[in-house]
Amino acid sequence: MLVINLMYLYSQEIKIHKSVNQILLLSNQKSIERNQEKKKHLKLQRNYLLMALNLDQKSYITIAGSIIVHLVLGTIYLWGVITVYITSYFRTKDNPDLTLKQAGVVFPIMMFSVATGIPLGMKLIKKTARTRIVCFILTTLASACIFIASWQTQFGVFVIFYSLFFGVLDGASMSITLYIGLLYYPKKRGLISGLILVGYGLASLIYSQVFFQIVNKQNLQPIKAGNGESYFMGDAESVAQKVPEALRWLSLAYLLQMWLGSMLLIDHPSQTEMLLKQQNAKKEEMQKGQEQKQSQLKLNTLVVKVPQNNDDENKIGQLSKQIQNSEQNANQLVENQQTETNQNENINLLQIKSNQEINYKSDNKIEENKGTVICITESTNKIPRDVQIQIQDESKIIEDEIEYYKKLGCPNFSTAIKTKYFYFVVLTSFLTGSIGLCISGNYKTYGKEYISDDAFLTLIGSLSGITNGLTRPFWSALLDKYKFKDCYAAVCIVQIILCVTFQFAVKHDAFYLFWVVITMGTFGGTFGMLLALCAQFFGTTVGSEVYGIVWYGYAGANFLQFALVALVKDSIGFPGIFYIFAGMNGLSLIWLRLMNYQPNWKPYYEKIKEMEHAKKQKQIEISNSHQKNT
Cα gap 475→527, rounded to integer Å: 9
Cα gap 520→410, rounded to integer Å: 32
Cα gap 626→630, rounded to integer Å: 6
Please provide the average confidence, as pLDDT, over all residues in the chain.
76
Cα gap 183→203, rounded to integer Å: 24
Q: Which helix (H) or strand (E) holds 375?
A: strand 372-376
| Three-class SS state of 419 | coil
Per residue in 166-192, pLDDT tens? 999 998 998 888 888 878 887 776 677
Distance of CA 158 to the CA centre of its chain: 27
Cα gap 198→470, rounded to integer Å: 5
Residue 315 or 251, more confident: 251
CB neighbours (10 Å) of residue 280?
A: 10
| Longest Cα separation, the chain | 131
In the prediction, which pLDDT does 311 show?
52
| Three-class SS state of 366 | strand
Model-level pTM? Answer: 0.63
Beta bridge pairs of residue 224 = 230
In the prediction, which pLDDT does 353 show?
39
Of 90-104, 331-345, 370-384, 485-499, give the lowest mean pLDDT range: 370-384
- Residue ranges covered by each domain of the chain: 54-273+410-599
Task: Classify domain 54-273+410-599 by CATH architecture.
Answer: Up-down Bundle (1.20)
Query: Which region, left, alpha or beta, applies to residue 508 given φ > 0 means left and ψ of -120 to 50 means alpha?
Result: beta
CB neighbours (10 Å) of residue 233?
A: 16
Per residue in 6-44, pLDDT tens? 565 555 555 555 555 566 666 667 667 666 666 555 555
| Three-class SS state of 223 | strand
Using alpha carbons, list the distances in angstroms from residue 550 to 181, 486, 506.
19, 20, 31
90 within 8 A of 239, measured Cβ to Cβ:
no
Give helix 131-149 / helix 243-263 axis angle, nearest 10°.
Answer: 180
Per residue in 288-320, pLDDT tens? 666 666 655 554 444 444 444 445 445 445 545
In the prediction, which pLDDT does 12 show?
56
Outline where DSSP puts E strands in 42-125.
Answer: none
CA atoms within 13 A on the CB side of 271: 22
Question: What's the whole-number mean pLDDT along residues 475-486?
Answer: 82
In the prediction, which pLDDT does 251 show?
94
Per residue in 157-166, pLDDT tens? 999 999 999 9
CA dihedral defined by 416, 417, 419, 423, rounded to 10 degrees?
A: 120
Cα gap 223→233, rounded to integer Å: 7
Residue of 436, 451, 445, 457 whose CA lies nearest to 569: 445
Per residue in 481-529, pLDDT tens? 888 888 899 999 999 999 999 989 988 888 999 999 999 889 888 887 8
Selection from 53-67, 183-197, 365-379, 396-410 with the highest mean pLDDT: 53-67
Using alpha carbons, list the distances in angstroms from residue 68 to 131, 199, 465, 472.
15, 7, 15, 16
Cα gap 171→124, rounded to integer Å: 12
CA dihedral defined by 497, 454, 142, 156, rounded to 10 degrees?
A: 100
In the prediction, which pLDDT does 301 show?
47
Query: Which region, left, alpha or beta, applies to residue 358 given φ > 0 means left and ψ of -120 to 50 means alpha?
Result: beta
In the prediction, which pLDDT does 544 show?
74
Beta bridge pairs of residue 368 = 373
User: How far from each other are the two terminal CA atoms of the chain, in whole angstroms?
Assistant: 79
Cα gap 241→248, rounded to integer Å: 13
Q: What share of the chain is helix, strand, coil (3-state, %, to 5)?
A: 80, 0, 15
Q: If pLDDT is split at 50, 70 and 90, which confidence band does 381 have?
A: very low
Burial letters for 513-537: b for 16+ Cβ neighbours within 10 Å, e otherwise? bebbbbbbbbbbbbbbbbbbbbbbb
Using alpha carbons, list the distances in angstroms from residue 354 to 96, 395, 396, 508.
85, 18, 20, 74
Question: What's the whole-number mean pLDDT along residues 380-405?
Answer: 54
Of 220-224, 323-327, 466-470, 580-584, give the lowest mean pLDDT range: 323-327
Using alpha carbons, list the distances in angstroms from residue 457 to 41, 64, 81, 183, 504.
54, 31, 8, 40, 17
Residue-wise DSSP of 463-521: HHHHHHHHHHHHHHHHTTTS-HHHHHHHHHHHHHHHHHHHHHHTTSHHHHHHHHHHHHH
